Structure 1
Amino acid sequence: MPDGFGVVLTQKESEVMTLSIRYTVWLVCLVGVATAQRAPHTPPVAAPEVAAGHPRLVFGAGRSVEQVRGLYRTDAFFRSTFDQALVACETAGHPAMAAACWIVSGDDRHARTAVRLLDEAKITESGSGSYSNIWSFALAWDWLYHHPELAGGRRERVAARIGERLSTELAQLDDTGMALWHGRNQAANGAMVAAVALDGEAAQRGRATAHYIEALRALDFSEGWPEGPSYWIYNRALPYAVAADCYLTATGQEALAGLNVRSIMRKIGLWTLYQYGPNGIFEPFGDSAGSLRLGETGMWEASADYFARLSRDPALAAGARFLRSRSPAPYGKRPIHWYAALAYEPAPPAGAGSDSRPELILRKSLPQAMLFGRRSLGVAFFRGVWGDADELFATFKAGDLLAHHDHYNNGHFSIQQRGLLAPLTGVYGASSYTGAYRLGYAIQTVASNSLLVLSPGERSRALLAQPSSPWTALSGGQRVIRPTGFDCVSLDDFRRSLEAGPRLERAEITAFESVAGRGDYIAVDITASYNSTRYAEPGAAAKVSMVTRQFLYLREAPAFVVFDRVETTLPGFTPKFLLHAIAKPETATEQLLTGAGPEDGILETRDREVTIRGEGSVLTQRVLLPEPSRALKIGGPNFAGYVEADGDQTTGFNGTNLTPDAGKGAGGPKPLGLWRVEVEPEPGAGGTSHRFLNVLLPGAGGASVQMIKNGDGIVALRVGGSVAVFAHDARPLSRVELELESEAECWIVDARPGAVYSMPGGTVTASGEGVLVVKRPRGRLVLEAK
């Protein structure tokens, strides 16, 4: 057919030209959209340069197609994993899956399937809780760019389809409908993959890059995922890895806007590894339910491999192998085995750090304690001996609110040894998302090992605003701020909201110290978590002026020492130390206060020792402060989810037992509320200044525990061969004076940071975190700051 220039084109050539014009027009239109829309909250940045030619995503000089095909021939694990992918690819559900099968096998059947999907399958759109599959189309288009199946105009037609969807994805990202630590990052990762895949104008790449930078900043800032492991692994982990891989390979750069992409992948890989408990469950913070075990979806194994490969960290690579070695079905039971082509890297040759027991490398290479997101997420993990059947494992949490799937349990700790000893409770997905059980128990402080402060009539503004208000009480807990939705769109937006608007500020980690093989320590101020003199919600009374928690793990004993300061604003506000158990706590004496009987109700005891039997070990609780005090034991069929809804025990125990829907929640990876201990001041004791001191001893037997001093501004105790010293008030100690009955390793954890202290025989300098650890003989010990 003749065109305007008198050139005769075949029908196929005419179709190609028409598609090329359509692709160009799409790019021009996209630029028009970018200039016509309102000023975005995340302005475009200069578009990064990308490599010429294709493929430029994932497969290149460092990981070529031929190398991956060679891996299939020579590596037994990769071959066995990818054989499952090849079977699944007979009915591939999306183009990247089929294209990956072609990458590894070279079988053109898979290329034909991928191209058919590229041409005909729907490229979905992000929004309303769903996220676009644009990344899959972009990967397959890039990988098959030169394949004959994409000739004849198909290449341009598919590029136009991807481009059109990219324009709507960028429009969604420019809007405010997705939250930063929720779906926004997933959409940004997908858009970035598409933007670096497509050829053409740089404008859309600049827009996509700006949103990708914001997603990276969010992850770099939080260092873990505030929604909890379930939301992370289902929807966030692999998209982050794929986008990082595509950025690295397409641009050849590791840095972006002052961020090091490989370092961010390393940190999130370590968070993945550290939160995997010895009980085979990823610590279930936040709204967690599904895929908390290895071998279910396979996404943990795939993402751990991917983060290790991208980070180039040998210890993290050993961690990925460690997880695979414990998985009953590496890469899982879903059709995601094709990710092995992107993520898997074989172990180094024997003698270069490889070991059939990768846990040995972890024991040698990684610290036993690690903190993630000191000024954000605020989660610490305390490991024992990696891979040991008796590994003692603890976690601690105290951070600001970053996402609506986070919970209100700052100051929480959990402990396990041969199974759960002191668990986090409350099951997600076993009742309505906006129902009373989730809103009144599962997300609230009462479900954790934290601190309650009962305040009569206390309600939550956010809960009152829920449709039909199924639950409104805080039941003594922390402020419930955003229980069902979140509108933070950027890191700057988040920072503005810390002390304004929703007041997302909740916690400050004031110290974190770890002395290898000897002990670990974290101190937090969680006053802002509660309705306090710093901030109380309109209509709510400020019930506290100070709440701090110090958590000291003495590894030699072993023992966990928990010291809390609670200053209430009125004597009638009752503070409580919470400790959850999977079986009824045992004490020498008990008295039933209400309920059907000793196995179903609320019981009280004034015993100072409580025994908690876990799944395979025992935890002994020694209550040292307050004095006098009592402990309530709450649990059984009709009290397992008991909450004091009116915030007032003086009117009797007339609260509510909140439970999941009938037949749901039991037997999952996270326990329902079962039994708990609540330590509180003796009723009628009065006062507004409260101190709690509890020692938790895991395992049979246990170290001796003795109070040394509670006066002259210090609180001191001896646990086995160690002495712990705290400041009675939240002020650094200038002087410590103790009488030691025998030699002891002394942990003074409220010293002046960096200060030099004189002591008999010389001087000692406190760490920058305000911790002094000194071994002293029997006799009088005096430490004084110079």
Structure 2
Amino acid sequence: MIFRALFIVLLAATVLAISGSLFLMKTYHLTFLEMVNKSAEKLGVVENGYRLIEYEKKYTVPIISLKQSESFPKFLPDDNNSNFSYFEYLTFNIKALQKNKGYSPNCSSKDIRNLFYCHILGERDIDELLRELTLYKFIPPREVGFYGNALEFIVVLDLLRGSGISIPRTEKALIDEKLKQMLESYLFVLDGDSASLFHGRSVLASNAWLLATHLDPDETENQENFNRAFGHFYDFFQALEAVEIWPEGYNYWANSRGFQIALAIAALKSLEPNSLLLDVRAEALLERIGLWHIYNTRPDWTIAGWADEGPRVDLKDETSRIIDLIALATSNTAIQEYARLLRQRFGGFNYYRAYKWYLPALLSNEAAKEVVKKNVNVTLASLKHLLEPVAIFGEDFSNHIVIRSGWEADDTLIQIRASDRFTHHQHFDAGSFTVFANGKPLIVNASRYKNVFTENRKYFSSRSVSKNTIFINSQNDTFQPSKHYSVNSMDGGQRIPLATHSSIASFAQWKKELSDGYNLGMAELIEFDYKKNGDVNIWLDLTNAYNSVKGVDGASSAKATRVLRQFYYLEKEQVLLVYDEISKTASAKDTGARLYFSEKPIIASLKERVVKGSEYNGIIEYKDSNLIESRVNSEHNMLIYSPQPIITRLIGGHDYRTYVELDSDYAEYDGQFFDDGYEDERWFDKVGWRLETSPKATKNVKLLTAIQMNEGDLLNLNIIKPEQVVIVVDQQQVASVKFSSIDNKNTGISRNDE
């Protein structure tokens, strides 16, 4: 009996331990080794930064035999138009910047940045700089949250060696030893599984690769670490080649990632020619990243946020450092012009004061001597003859699409996002879009960000309920991916994998997770057609973004068999058409689309009824109709049509802008306000109201939204029959829309002369 009791106790303890382990692994997206090591650290079994179980070293076998060029600098670009040596180039820039008060080093300081520049100017001795380099206080990186302080050290070393300044043997040995120690610290955390591909791993791998480029190639023992650092960075490099954007949002890129990553990409150009064509691919990727910045810059000199965003969407302080680097590294005319425009727009405020020491190394000689005065009226008009108005980035992966009517201050900018899932700071916005027209936001992103775990972020801002997306209400949805979600908010939105944590350790793992495991595939680009007449036709399959026959999260049931969205931009008429077609299951209820506006749209054609709050701060229902006619921002016509009568509600005002109906049932408005963490900061677009339109259809939902971008032209709709309508602009029939069955390829929008 005693043995039986002991067996039962041991079995129960084992089951509990396994259950607890599985819970931790699922909640924090941890591998088993990660769970063991983090638990050991938490319990004090090992010191912080150490592991109970070591990981095997990765990339010890070289991916390819690589050889670096013998020249320096390794990653800081040179001015291709300068006839100076690198030493002379830097000297010219420092003196020019001193003259125009752009930057001047502090020659009474002992930090390595100032010591280097002041030595260039002949005001400090080289021995002082070398001593401080050998004594540099390195703070090792962690897998999450802090990524070390190697950047300043390695940049100054690149400047020093690029300038051709001789380093005596003793000091060189000490600096090389410090380099090795730094690099080994980065490789230690990279060999683990905690750092996520598009989060901390990107910076860790970039810093490791920058350090590795300065290893002494004559020392055999350095070769393995060089190969390991390259392997880690090359894995991320391939992922970034695929997406061409920063999935965590622009602010994360500009503040914490972009500069180190761009430097590391540039470092690939220092390698001798190889079969991977790394020099060509590095320059191509830098160009794509630079162009991505340009295309997403709105006429008001901000970038519309799409993820967990902060203030740097305003392009101040951080962006120029990245763009100036790319402009020098690629010699792309459009990127160079954009760099110049940023300097004009923000004057001396285009660089954060702590980053101004980079200026001598990131400006051409011509730019360094230019005296730039802030001009808030500068536009992007000079790019008109350099770039097409339409572009797609990360095709088949992130699918960020930009459509511009032009590059002037009053031109239209449409941004469409149909991205797969990469990381936890990304939002659930497959198929969403925003519009900026006539100098101000027209259709906006309603998200705010303060912290990952605020109520507002968990239940509103990160979710598709805060985006201009399709919704499919169902009471069989389960939206509680971890212990952090106490409320099952059945908001009709998209699945929420990787909601608060991610630990995607490699590009290969991410590609596998697209269909397996976390099921990170959210959108499929069926068609992207930029036509000769300037029109743009886009078809998206968004089925997998929702709990559907393709896959569900948790205990959810499939609520759709297919979800399609078509965007058609009529360039000449400046009209955006959005066609939605959803085939829903029996478990689905109200299904339709949400649109967010800064100002309350005027729907004068339908009788309204306030059902909650007031007409200025509440919920308003409108009489069911097949056609909704409205005005937005007082100057834009908008039409919404369906063959079935449309249930229409307008929700907004100061309190109701974060209102969510939790049970997918609008029979009684008993939802919740998610204001905790909702803060109106200056860098967010004003959000006032959302319009929800839901056709009364039992199975196949079909919905058309037409939005006029410019003023003056009349936008109308002729109903030929319920399943076919014609778009009329200024009394001209310009496009047709067919509401056929979901399997009919003739469905959707086409221009009349096609």
- CA-to-aligned-CA distance 1:705-760 (integer Å, 9 cap, x gap): 22354577x665344442144562445647x9xxxxxxxxxx964xxxxxxxxxxx
Q: Deviations over 1:353-412 (max 9, x none)?
A: xxx9884441112111101112111111112221x2211111001111011111111111
Q: Residue 397 of structure 2 is aligned with which of 376, 388, 403?
A: 376
> Is contact 1:368-1:384 (8 Å) kept?
yes
Query: Contact 1:138–1:198 (CA<8 Å) still a contact in 2?
Result: no
Cα distance change of structure 1 residues 453 and 57 upon mapping to structure 2, 3 Å threshold: closer
- Return the offset for 1:660: 3.7
SS state of the match for residue 618, structure 2?
strand
Aligned to 2:740: 728
Please tell me whether residue 66 in structure 1 is matched to residue 87 in structure 2: yes
Residue 689 of structure 1 corresponds to which residue in structure 2? 700
In structure 2, the residue matched to 1:52 is 70
Pick one of 677, 685, 688 that aligns with 1:674: 688
Deviation of residue 557 (structure 1)? 1.7
Other-structure match for 2:346: 327
Amino acid at match of 2:433: F
Which one is further off, 159-168 or 508-517? 508-517
Asked whether 1:574 is paired with 2:584, we answer: no
- 1:408 has 2:428 as partner: yes
1:306 equivalent to 2:325? Answer yes
Structure 2 match to 1:703:
714
Aligned residue number for residue 423 of structure 1: 444
Paired amino acid for 1:86: P
Residue by residue over 1:315-342, the C-alpha shift from the partner in whole angstroms, topping out at 9 and shown as x without a partner, is 2222222333222435323311222233
Contact conserved, 1:47 with 1:209, CA < 8 A, in 2? no
Greater relative contact order (Cα < 8 A, sep 6+): 2
Between the aligned partners of 1:422 and 1:114, the Cα distance in structure 2 is: 55
Contact residue 437 and residue 660 of structure 1 kept, 8 A: yes
Give RMSD over aligned pairs: 3.2
Per-residue deviation at 1:673? 4.7
Change (3 A) 1:699 1:499: same
Q: Contact 1:277–1:283 at 8 Å: present in 2 too?
A: yes
| Number of residue pairs the alignment of both structures matches | 680
Q: How does 1:85-104 map to 2 (within 5 A)?
A: 85-87=104-106, 95=112, 97-98=113-114, 101-102=117-118
* C-alpha spacing 1:55/1:303, structure 2 compared with 1 (3 Å): closer
The Cα shift of 1:443 comes to 0.5
2:643 is the alignment partner of 1:636: no
Give the match for residue 13 of structure 1: none
C-alpha separation between the residues in 1 aligned to 2:134 and 2:109?
A: 15
CA positional deviation for 1:461: 4.1
Aligned to 1:231, the other structure's residue is in SS state helix
Q: Secondary structure at the match of 2:198?
A: helix
Deviation at 1:177, TM superposition (A): 1.2
Q: Distance between the aligned counterparts of 1:191 and 1:214, measured in 2? A: 13
Residue 137 (structure 1) shift: 1.8
Once the two structures are superposed, what CA deviation does each residue of 1:69-100 show, in whole Å capped at 9, x if it has no partner? 3642786xx5567742525x76576x4x3366
Q: Give the TM-score normalised by structure 1.
A: 0.80
Match of 1:506 among 522, 547, 551: 522
Residue 105 of structure 2 aligns with an amino acid whose one-letter code is: L
Classify the secondary structure of the residue corresponding to 2:429: coil
1:392 aligns with 2:403: no
Quick one: which of 543, 550, 561 aligns to 2:566? 550
Which amino acid is 1:48 matched to? L
Deviation at 1:136, TM superposition (A): 2.5
Q: Secondary structure at the match of 1:627?
A: strand
1:451 aligns with 2:470: yes
Structure 2 gap segments, 5+ residues each? 1-50, 369-374
Is the counterpart of residue 717 in structure 1 residue 717 in structure 2?
no
Question: For 1:473 and 1:41, how far apart are their aligned partners in 2?
Answer: 44
1:524 aligns with 2:540: yes
Q: Given that residues 601 and 631 in structure 2 are in contact (C-alpha distance below 8 angstroms), is that contact kept between their aligned partners in structure 1?
A: yes
Question: In structure 2, do the counterparts of structure 1 residues 376 and 142 end up closer, same or farther at CA, with 3 Å as the change threshold?
Answer: same
How far, CA to CA, are the matches of 2:133 and 2:247 in structure 1? Answer: 35
Structure 2 letter corresponding to 1:333: Y
Shift of 1:38: 2.0
CA gap of 1:529–1:92, structure 2 versus 1, over 3 A, is: farther
2:302 is matched with which residue? Answer: 281
Q: SS at the partner of 2:294?
A: helix
Amino acid across the alignment from 1:415: V
Q: What is the letter of the counterpart of residue 673 of structure 2? A: N
CA deviation vs aligned residue, 1:2-34 (integer Å, no higher than 9, x gap)? xxxxxxxxxxxxxxxxxxxxxxxxxxxxxxx9x
Q: 2-side partners of 1:689 and 1:184: how far apart?
A: 43
CA deviations over 1:399-458 (Å, ceiling 9, x no partner):
1101111111111111112111110111111xx421221010001111111111111252
Alpha-carbon contact 1:119-1:154 (below 8 Å) kept: no
Shift of 1:346: 5.6
Distance 2:127 2:305 in 1: 40
Please list, as runs of the form range in 1=range in 2, the aligned pairs for 1:510-659 lying within 5 A after superposition: 510-515=526-531, 518-570=534-586, 572-588=588-604, 589-606=606-623, 608-614=627-633, 618-650=635-667, 652-659=668-675
Instruction: State the SS of the aligned residue for 1:649.
Output: coil
Q: Structure 1 residues 569 and 581, CA, compared in 2 at 3 Å: closer, same or farther?
A: same
Q: Distance in 1 between matches of 2:406 and 2:110?
A: 42
Is residue 299–residue 379 contact of structure 2 (8 Å, CA) maintained in 1? Answer: no
Displacement of 1:643 = 0.7
The answer to whether residue 489 in structure 2 is matched with residue 477 in structure 1 is no
1:435-450 correspondence to structure 2 within 5 Å: 435-450=454-469
Q: Is the 8 A contact 2:447 2:460 kept in 1?
A: yes
Partners of 1:99 and 1:140 within 8 A in 2:
no
- Equivalence for 1:183: 200
Give 2:487's aligned amino acid: W
Q: 1:113, CA displacement in angstroms?
A: 5.1
| CA shift for structure 1 position 700 | 3.4
Structure 1 gap segments, 5+ residues each = 1-32, 350-355, 737-746, 750-772, 777-786
The answer for the alignment partner of 1:165 in structure 2 is 182
SS of the aligned residue for 1:370 comes to strand
| Separation (CA, whole Å) in 2 of partners of 1:554 and 1:239 | 40
Whole-angstrom distance in 2 between the partners of 1:283 and 1:315: 21
- For residues 564 and 321 of structure 1, what CA distance do their matches in structure 2 show? 41
The offset of 1:53, in angstroms, is: 6.5
Instruction: Determine helix, strand or coil for the equivalent of 1:242.
Output: helix
Measured in 2, the distance between the counterparts of 1:155 and 1:424 equals 53
Q: Secondary structure at the match of 1:310?
A: helix
* 1:607-657 residue CA offsets vs partner (Å, 9 max, x unmatched): 74454544xx7332211225311321101122110111111223x111111
Q: 2:24: which partner in 1?
A: none
Change in Cα spacing, 1:690 to 1:37, as seen in structure 2 (3 Å) is closer
CA distance in 2, matches of 1:672, 1:45: 49
Q: How far is the alpha carbon of 1:282 from its aligned partner? A: 1.1
2:509 aligned residue (493, 510, 513): 493
Q: 1:193 is matched with which residue?
A: 210
- TM-score between both structures, scaled by the size of structure 2: 0.83
The letter for the 2-side match of 1:696 is I
1:291 corresponds to which residue?
312
Q: What is the CA–CA distance in structure 2 between the aligned matches of 1:310 and 1:526, rounded to whole Å?
A: 38
- Match for 1:459: what amino acid? T
Alpha-carbon shift at residue 275 of structure 1 (Å): 1.1
User: Does structure 2 retain, via aligned residues, the 8 Å contact 1:611–1:618?
Assistant: no
**Is residue 58 of structure 2 the alignment partner of residue 40 of structure 1?**
yes
Deviation, 1:118, is 4.6
Secondary structure at the aligned position of 1:620 is classed as strand
Task: Please name the residue that 1:742 is paired with.
Answer: none
Output the CA distance in 1 between the equivalents of 2:602 and 2:166: 71
CA shift in 2, pair 1:161/1:703, >3 Å: same
What secondary structure sits across from 2:583 in the alignment? strand
| 2:299–2:380 CA contact under 8 A, matched in 1 | no
